[in-house]
Structure 1
């Protein structure tokens, strides 16, 4: 079976037919007439068929050339339609964005940012995988995955964009605080019951930094340990114990008086909230604008504090 090694030759052939001569087609295409003629001759040789009747004054299609030309036109139209789709997608935010994000980060404000972005961009569909597992952006075909890590970030072949910072603070319910003297130092809180994120080693240590950069470590045995931040927040609200939770997750509770911020001079080292994605090249507006919205959203949250 004969194969066409260069599909561009079909477009060149269609241009020659449309303009009625090699000279006119070459002028439109910006190539030399002799080069264009050689390409069409090579196409005929590759197909082992004559497509054009050539005289010194005119060109005409053979019967095979006429039918071949119809398919060439269809191919050129399909190529244009494919390019139009890309141009349409690149013109403004639209299409589908596939992302992954840990559940705790979503509950800490990212879900609100994403919801606002979808509301403001009606032509964008966001497929969000809310999971605490480490998603593989390449294998799973994701546009990006959101992660949070203490600096420095690990080396990776993937592109990275920092979205914001996240710190954790000590909080307790007013009922819990009422059962203990007002804390003035970390030592005065060590007798309180605690709540913590799960640890594979079942060793629980909180590392807190004061305003002068001094680190205090607190080893404790929590009454409840889980990998679900929402459950920790509920337990803290219920007065089960003191918890160390992301500030953005509990800020509304603190403002409403449902939780109290203990020892405001202590917090964890800021963690980097960042997005990882396969490459920066060819990023469509829907993805780029969503990343921009996440950066702006974190800036807005940080300004409140």
Structure 2
């Protein structure tokens, strides 16, 4: 026989030996004496060897039973250690969290949030996949993936938790703004140099909405086009042109005076920043607390900058 059918029988056998009788072991385990006796006898039959010498007044180990008991103690100890590890991960943030996030979101503050979380939770390790491709959370063994989508969100069998909103706004450096009249409408920017995200079609347009929800599309020819938001931010700060950038990416720049918010009545339709994961059941604290940290920081940022658009 390659292995014992039910490893619980090892725990039961060890308990009988530890307590010196079936009655005492049954009392400790909260079960019936007859049940323990049957389980130990079934174990002996499975092993085809006697483990205990039984009389009406005493119980003793055979030589084989004594050696077998030592191994049972080791199995019980290992199973307890395994359970302790699980219990710890269920009560205190620790272990490895695997996350995927688009590059732009990382540059817009998510990387800073994750870094603060790791610093505050020294027993947690985060493996962060920075990618713009659509990942498969289950197939790739991720704890969760962060995405930005325009509402409504697509139907999915995965669990979803909304983290916050992401809105793009028009910004320019104070130096660039000084060289042009203050814009009163999107058409006022026709003489301003612009920046843009890359376009495969070669056509560039900012798709905006006003405070009344009216859609506005404005075509332009940028001086610089790239698929890297960080590069667009730097170019905007250096006065190369007007850029449409995530508010969470340039919020600190606006406060510090490195950028100015142009045409504040215009912005993009709010994108929903959300995390997707396999299920809410059995989520360990390390994952749950990181999601909570993301929600808390996004809420704080949105309260600070979100004007109700």
- Relative distance call for 1:67 and 1:269 in structure 2 (3 A) is same
Residues 3 and 47 of structure 1 are in contact (CA less than 8 Å); yes or no, is this contact kept in structure 2? no
Q: Does 1:112 align with 2:112?
A: yes
Q: Does 1:211 align with 2:207?
A: no
Distance 2:203 2:55 in 1: 90
- Relative distance call for 1:155 and 1:195 in structure 2 (3 A) is same
What is the aligned partner in structure 1 of residue 141 from structure 2? 141
What is the aligned partner in structure 2 of residue 26 from structure 1? 26
Aligned residue pairs total: 305
Q: Does 1:276 align with 2:276?
A: yes
Question: Which has the larger displacement, 63-72 or 115-124?
Answer: 115-124
Distance 2:219 2:91 in 1: 54
What is the aligned partner in structure 2 of residue 264 from structure 1? 264
Question: Which has the larger displacement, 269-278 or 50-59?
Answer: 50-59
What is the aligned partner in structure 2 of residue 192 from structure 1? 192
- 1:81: how far off? 0.8
Q: Where in structure 2 are the equivalents of 1:48-59 lying within 5 Å? A: 48-59=48-59
What is the aligned partner in structure 2 of residue 229 from structure 1? 229
What is the aligned partner in structure 2 of residue 61 from structure 1? 61
Q: Does 1:86 align with 2:86?
A: yes
What is the aligned partner in structure 2 of residue 290 from structure 1? 290
Secondary structure of residue in 2 paired with 1:46: helix
- 1:7: how far off? 0.7
Q: What is the root-mean-square deviation in Å for CA atoms of aligned residues?
A: 1.8
What is the aligned partner in structure 1 of residue 172 from structure 2? 172
- 1:269: how far off? 0.8
The Cα offsets for residues 144-199 of structure 1, whole Å up to 9 and x where unpaired, read as 22111111112222221111111000112233333433211122224433322223
- 1:2: how far off? 4.3
Unpaired runs of at least 5, structure 1? none
Distance 1:10 1:200 in 2: 66
Question: Which has the larger displacement, 24-33 or 133-142?
Answer: 133-142
Secondary structure of residue in 2 paired with 1:99: strand
Secondary structure of residue in 1 paired with 2:267: coil
Question: Which has the larger displacement, 230-239 or 199-208?
Answer: 199-208
Distance 1:200 1:28 in 2: 72
**Normalising by the residue count of structure 1, what TM-score does the alignment of the two structures yield?**
0.93
